[in-house]
Homo-oligomer: A and B are copies of this chain.
Amino acid sequence: MGSPERSRLGIICGRLTEETCVRRMVVTLRGGDLSRLRQLNSLTAIGMLRASGPLTLSALAERAGLSRPSMKEVVDELMELGWVEETPPAQGTIGRPARRYRFRARSGYLVGLDLGGHNIRAALSDLNGEILAEARQPVQPDTPLPERLATIERTVASCLALGGKTIADVWIVAAGTIGVITTDGRIRYCAAIPAWTGLDLAGHLRRMFPCEVIVENDSRLAARAEAVRGAARGANDVVFLHVGRRMGAAVIVDGKVHRGFGAAAGEIAMLPHVQWTEASEHLQNCSIIPEDTSPAEAAGYTLAAARAGDPVAVAAVERYVDDLAVGTSAMVLLLDPQVVVLGGGFSRSADVLLPPLRERLERACIRMPEVRASTLGDECVVTGAIDYAVAHLDQQLFTPDAPLPTSR
C-alpha cells in the first residue's frame, strides 16, 4: 500500500490504549470537525484490533461505543485502504461464524539494529513487532568506521533478504548502540567504541537507509524489550542491569523507560565509587582461564568454573558481584523498584550470579525487590530496537502533523 492512501487516512496506528484514542477523539470533537471524527473512529478501530487481536464487528462496535452500522462503514473503509483484513475462518467451523477482522500488520516492516562493540545484529519485524528474520556479524570495538558502517549495511541487507523483503518495504530503522546519545541521534560519548564518539550516527544511517531512522542507547532498548516481552513484563518500576564485558543500566519508572532530560539517564557506571568500569575484569582475567581462551569466552569460562565449584572462580564471581551490587543497591535504594532484571551477555550465567547478588541486596536495601534473569539473552537490544520502532510508530499517531514514515 503506497503513500497516497496512507496520507488519506492520515494516521498510522500503533498499539493504542483506549485512553489515548479517547483523548485525541475528544480534542477533535471540540474542534467540531466531522471528517476528523471519522478519521478518529478509524483510528480507534485500528487501535483496538492491534491491541486485542481479531474482533468481530459487534465487539468492535461495542468497545468503541459506536452503532454496528457505523462501525461497518469504518471497517469497510479500512479494508479498502489495506489497513484491516478479514481473518480466515477457523478450520472445522460448522455453520457461518461471525466475520472477524484484524490489523494488517504486514502493510509495512520495521528493522531493529544492535550496533555493539563486538557484534552487529539486525532484526526484521512486521508492524506489530513480530520478528521475521535476524542476522548477525561480528566486528571489533576498534574496527575502522568505514568498515563498521559497511558491516551494518551488509547485515541489514542479509536480514532483509532472509525475510524476503527489500529496504523499500521498511518504514523505520531503529538502532541501539553503546554510549550517551543525543536526542537527535549523535553519539555524545562512547568509551567502548573509539570511532563512535562525536559521530552523527543517525545521519550516517539515514544516508544508508531511505526511511525513518531513530537511534537510542542500547541498555534502554534492552530494558524496553524486557518490559514488552521479557522478564519485566507487567512491572511498572524496573531496574535493568545490562551486564557483559561492559556494564550498563536502565530504569523503567511508572511504566516508561526513563530517558532523562538530555537523554543521558542510566549512566550510573560513570560513578567511580560503583567501580563498574573494571568490574568485569574479575571474570575476564581470572587466573584459572586457559591462555588460549578468546576474550569473548573468558568470562564465560570463569562463570562455568564457578558453577562447577572451583574456589578461585567462585572468589572471582564474589568480587564481581560485590561491585555489581554497589551500583545496583544505589539504584534500588533510590527507586525502590518492583523488579531488578539481570540482562545482557552474562545473564546466561544468572544461576551463578543471582544468588550472591540477592544476598548483597538483602543486606543493603530497605525493601528487597524481585531479582529476575533476562529471558532474552543476547537478543535483548535488537528486540528492544524493534519494540522501540513499534512505540515510535504509535507515538507518531498522536503527534498531529508529524511526518509519517514512508517506505518510498
Binding site for B on A (CB under 8 A): 19, 22-23, 25-27, 29-30, 65, 180, 188-189, 236-237, 249, 251, 253-254, 256, 258-268, 270-274, 326, 329-331, 333-338, 364-367, 369
Q: Which of B258, B267, B333, B364 contacts A333 (CB 8 A)?
A: B267
Q: Are B180 and A366 in contact (CB under 8 A)?
A: yes
Q: Are B261 and A30 in contact (CB under 8 A)?
A: no
Contacts of A266 in B (CB 8 A): 334, 336
Q: State the Cβ distance, A264 to closest chain B Cβ, in Å.
A: 4
Q: Contacts A29-B65, A264-B366, A264-B367; is A258 near B23 (CB within 8 Å)?
A: no
Number of copies: 2
Q: Are A337 and B237 in contact (CB under 8 A)?
A: no
Q: Are A262 and B26 in contact (CB under 8 A)?
A: no
Nearest first, the 6 A-B pairs at minimum CB distance are: A260-B336, A261-B338, A262-B367, A265-B336, A264-B336, A30-B65
Q: Are B23 and A267 in contact (CB under 8 A)?
A: no
Q: Are A334 and B254 in contact (CB under 8 A)?
A: no
Of all chain B residues, the one with the shortest Cβ separation from A333 is B267
Contacts of A237 in B (CB 8 A): 260-261
Q: Are B19 and A267 in contact (CB under 8 A)?
A: no
Contacts of A274 in B (CB 8 A): 273, 330
Q: Are A335 and B270 in contact (CB under 8 A)?
A: no
Q: Are A267 and B366 in contact (CB under 8 A)?
A: yes
Q: Are A19 and B23 in contact (CB under 8 A)?
A: yes
Contacts of A365 in B (CB 8 A): 270
Give Cα A22 to B24, complex, Å.
Answer: 10
Contacts of A259 in B (CB 8 A): 336
